[in-house]
Amino acid sequence: MPAPRAREQPRVPGERQPLLPRGARGPRRWRRAAGAAVLLVEMLERAAFFGVTANLVLYLNSTNFNWTGEQATRAALVFLGASYLLAPVGGWLADVYLGRYRAVALSLLLYLAASGLLPATAFPDGRSSFCGEMPASPLGPACPSAGCPRSSPSPYCAPVLYAGLLLLGLAASSVRSNLTSFGADQVMDLGRDATRRFFNWFYWSINLGAVLSLLVVAFIQQNISFLLGYSIPVGCVGLAFFIFLFATPVFITKPPMGSQVSSMLKLALQNCCPQLWQRHSARDRQCARVLADERSPQPGASPQEDIANFQVLVKILPVMVTLVPYWMVYFQSTYVLQGLHLHIPNIFPANPANISVALRAQGSSYTIPEAWLLLANVVVVLILVPLKDRLIDPLLLRCKLLPSALQKMALGMFFGFTSVIVAGVLEMERLHYIHHNETVSQQIGEVLYNAAPLSIWWQIPQYLLIGISEIFASIPGLEFAYSEAPRSMQGAIMGIFFCLSGVGSLLGSSLVALLSLPGGWLHCPKDFGNINNCRMDLYFFLLAGIQAVTALLFVWIAGRYERASQGPASHSRFSRDRG
């Protein structure tokens, strides 16, 4: 039974209610319509995002630009890093100047303009207009030895493409940090249960956009043309922008609440460095006396509210930071690498037209598209989210056993831990076959891999567990960041949540790079692309150990947080800030 809806809630000055008339059933119907519009916008935006990232390395490495693999990979990492690490910037701008509605609308407009650069440079006239003519490759003497260094030329059109990718990353990060909380605003009047269900379906929309993009857009880019393939993301963003504007009459829009970031920094300085704070405050008092007559009263939070919000922020951030090791587990790409070294069954008839982008068993007439290996986790989420929303959560709610967001996040960490443990055990078994010279040959593009005779279907348990962990860790994480943040800092807190997930991804990549150095578990130069002389099983067990230690720390921090949240001060803060 859904939670009762709060009928009379205090409104923020400047908050705009839906323009459409409301009847007896109007509010609930229009709130659902507004939430559905946000979900559709998110699905289209994610389809565009994955459409850009899926083959960006291949696009820059093609004859259009002739970038080296290292240069193209670095550009893709810069774009992905910007799309996560710049998320707090978009949230802060919404909190201070724009409000969430205008922040999302302007971000989608910037998204549309920046994404248009990729199809514009996919044909010769467009490239020459934006980048000039491609310089001819310089002629030089042949390399006298196999190990001599080669100088990589400056990548063609790099300033334009890097500027476009950074703007695209800023737009994507701003949409990510603001559309989440903006959508939750639309259904908040329907009760906390409606907010929880919104985050379930919001995450489902993200993964649906990823599936559509990887199955359709990536195939078109690889097999038909980059011009058409990169025009589809532009169309998706344009359609998302149109739907967002068209749904404006049913949206609840809230004005910017002003920045409390400076207040938080002052309070942090006051607590950490009291002597420095005394000198700073004395200088501020002198300035205040000089400018007292020139200042007009400014609306904002009282000092008591600043202190209360600072205390909330101090409690929220440790919870979010201890989630970073989970993102290291979630974003690691070694599951795909492990799958390439397991036996791929023969399912689909081979098509000579796409043989260069197919995963092909040597000597067989059947292929599996390579991108399908990346979709396993996404498909698990698409199946489990509706099951959880329609069956599991209502049953637990009726039995009064529905766990809190923090309890779900701890459960998600446990499933992430079991996923990498299962992957480590499978890798031990795979290496057992390899060490006994029981292998099968599989060709991926032009690279021949020696795989174990174990079927790739043995990876189903670890993908299922990581999908379940995502549902329990990431979705409640979004709900927690939105519901517990002070109203004036919701955009920034959501941005910090996404930024920390990007930090986890970077830390995971750094760990792989560290273990790939000479003497590391993942250093196996004799394999030429294979991992048969590596100890990836030890890498999986190391990830599991990191996750186990931080999960115990998270349980302790979450327990303290929930005990503190049951006090009367937290209830008064909640009613004041969340309205």
129-156, pLDDT tens digit by residue? Answer: 777 776 665 544 545 554 454 445 567 7
The reported pLDDT for the residue numbered 136 is: 62
Contacts of residue 16, Cβ cutoff 8 Å, sequence gap at least 6: 252, 253, 254
- Exposed, middle or buried: residue 113 (CB in 10 Å: 0-12, 13-18, 19+)? middle
Q: Quick check: helix, strand or coil at residue 363? A: coil
Instruction: Find all residues with CB under 8 Å of 124, minimum gap 6, and list them.
Output: none
- For 513-533, what is the mean pLDDT? 74
Name which of 56-70, 90-104, 291-305, 382-396 the model is least confident about: 291-305
pLDDT of residue 288: 42
CATH C-level class of 259-279+304-347+367-567: mainly alpha
| pLDDT greater at residue 565 or residue 315 | 315
Tokens of 403: 């766990």
Percent of the chain residues topping a pLDDT of 70? 71
Pairing mode of beta strands 440-444, 358-361: antiparallel
pLDDT digits (tens, 9 = 90+) for 21-65: 544 445 677 778 888 899 999 999 999 998 888 777 777 777 777
User: Do 176 and 498 form a contact (C-beta atoms < 8 A)?
Assistant: yes
Q: Is 437 left (phi over 0), alpha (psi -120 to 50) or beta?
A: left
Q: Check if 14-132+157-256 and 259-279+304-347+367-567 are the same fold.
A: yes
Backbone Cα Rg of the chain: 26
Residue 181 has pLDDT above 50, yes or no: yes
Strand, coil or helix: what is 451?
strand
Contacting residues for 148 by C-beta, under 8 A, at least 6 apart:
none
pTM strictly above 0.75: no
- Cα–Cα distance measured from residue 534 to residue 555, given in angstroms and rounded to the nearest whole number: 34
Distance CA 358, CA 442 (A): 11
Tokens 């859904």: give the residue. 2
Complete DSSP assignment for 66-122: ---HHHHHHHHHHHHHHHHHTHHHHHHHIIIIIHHHHHHHHHHHHHHHHHTHHHHTS
> Is residue 13 classed as helix, strand or coil in its secondary structure?
coil
pLDDT of 215 > 90? The answer is: no
Residue 261: what pLDDT?
A: 59
Q: How confident is the model at residue 238 (pLDDT cuts 50, 70, 90)?
A: very high
Count Cα neighbours of 55 within 13 Å in the Cβ-side half-sphere: 28
pLDDT tens per residue across span 427-472: 999 888 888 887 777 765 455 677 888 888 888 888 888 888 888 8
Give the residue-averaged pLDDT of 520-526.
74
Which is the CATH superfamily of the domain at 14-132+157-256? MFS general substrate transporter like domains (1.20.1250.20)
Q: What is the pLDDT of residue 366?
A: 41
Residue 2: predicted pLDDT = 44
User: What's residue 368's pLDDT?
Assistant: 52
Phi, psi of 180 (to 5 degrees): -60, -55
Residue 109: the pLDDT is: 93
Lowest mean pLDDT among 23-32, 175-184, 398-407, 474-483: 23-32
Dihedral over Cα of 393, 203, 544, 413: its sign: negative
Give the start-to-end residue ranges of the domains of the chain.
14-132+157-256, 259-279+304-347+367-567
Query: Which DSSP category does 257 fall into?
Result: -
Strand ranges in 316-411 using DSSP code E only, listed in sequence order: 342-343, 348-349, 358-361, 366-369
The more confidently predicted of residues 195 and 287 is: 195
- Listing DSSP states for 177-219 in one string gives HHHHHHHHHHHGGG-HHHHHHHHHHHHHHHHHHHHHIIIIIHH
Q: Mean per-residue pLDDT for 481-498?
A: 77
Q: What are phi and psi of 140, to 5 degrees?
A: -150, 175
pLDDT at position 158 over 80: no
Reply yes or no on whether the pLDDT at 198 is more than 70: yes
Of 176, 180, 173, nearest in space to 198 by CA: 180
Q: How far apart are CA 96 and CA 481, in angstroms?
A: 18
Confidence of residue 278 (pLDDT cuts 50, 70, 90): low
Is the model more confident about 277 or about 317? 317
Is the model more confident about 385 or about 223?
385
Average pLDDT, the chain: 75
Q: How far apart are CA 49 and CA 497, in angstroms?
A: 19
